[in-house]
Amino acid sequence: MTLDIIIAGGGRVGFETAILLGDRGHDITVIEPDASRCDDIADEYVATIIRGDASDPDILRQADVDGSDVIAGLTGLPGLNLAICMEASELNPEIRTVARIDSRDQEGYGQFVDETVFPEGAGARTAANEIEGSDVRTLADVTGTLDIMEIRVEEGAPAAGKDLRSVRFPAGTLVISDDDGERVARPETTLTPGKRYVIAVEPNVADEVMNLLRG
């Protein structure tokens, strides 16, 4: 499903997250006050760029907060991220909110937003996964660069409905569990659409694995 996503903050985390989500086919709008950062993002052709302060309600309206599915406050200031998400919720009560924090002590922010992310520990890929929703979850912050993800197989994806011995996963991929999470995956394990599987992937092949399972 294609999502309309607003990312507040075009720094390293926001920029990398926008690229990942754009590559996954979502419609991205980035709000960033710094002109040079706006130019850098524009050069990647991955997002609509709005130069301005995302805590300004008029800027949020310009970004079409009313018609967006998700807003992610990914600036380097957790308090600002929280304020942006809360403002967006006032303007669009149906919008999903994700706020970047910079300390595990700030996880209490979760009572005000739908998700918090700690990208210093887990990277932009985890931020992207949280923004997309619960179909992909990563444990990257406890496994270094190796991603261990729970992925739901999409109907119509290249690997959907096939057993593992029939799918040519790239080297650096290991399917760990079957669809009920009670057995280690075997060659005859079928990748059933709508079911979830725990998979370990090396970062350089993660996008290829996502394409096989989610299309």
Is the pLDDT at 106 greater than 80? The verdict is: no
Residues in the chain: 215
pTM above 0.85, yes or no: no
- Interior/surface letters 133-168, b for 16+ CB within 10 angstroms, e for the rest: bebbbbebeeeeebbbbbbbbbeebebbebebeebe
Does residue 28 sit in helix, strand or coil?
Answer: strand
pLDDT digits (tens, 9 = 90+) for 53-103: 999 999 999 999 999 999 999 998 989 999 999 999 999 999 999 998 876
Q: How far apart are CA 185 and CA 176, in angstroms?
A: 5
Six-digit token string for 191: 């990748």
Lowest pLDDT segment from 122-126, 128-132, 154-158: 122-126
Residues 177/198, Cβ–Cβ less than 8 Å: yes
Is the pLDDT at 126 greater than 70? The verdict is: no
Is the pLDDT at 141 greater than 50? The verdict is: no
Taking each continuous run of H as one helix and of E as one strand, the counts in the chain are: 6, 10
pLDDT digits (tens, 9 = 90+) for 160-212: 999 999 999 999 999 988 876 778 999 999 999 988 888 888 878 888 998 89
| Per-range mean pLDDT, top range of 56-65, 113-122, 142-151 | 56-65
Mean pLDDT, all residues of the chain: 86
What proportion of the chain, given as a percentage, has pLDDT over 90? 49
Residues 50/58, Cβ–Cβ less than 8 Å: no
- Which distant-in-sequence residues (6+ apart) come within 8 Å of 22 by Cβ? 28, 44, 46, 47
Six-digit token string for 173: 């991929």
Residue 142 pLDDT class (50, 70, 90 cuts): very low
Eight-state DSSP code of residue 197: E
- Interior/surface letters 25-39, b for 16+ CB within 10 angstroms, e for the rest: ebbbbbbbbeeebbe
Question: Residue 50 belongs to what H/E stretch?
Answer: strand 48-51
Residues 196/175, Cβ–Cβ less than 8 Å: no
At residue 121, the pLDDT reads: 46
Report the Cα–Cα distance between both ends of the chain, in Å, rounded.
10
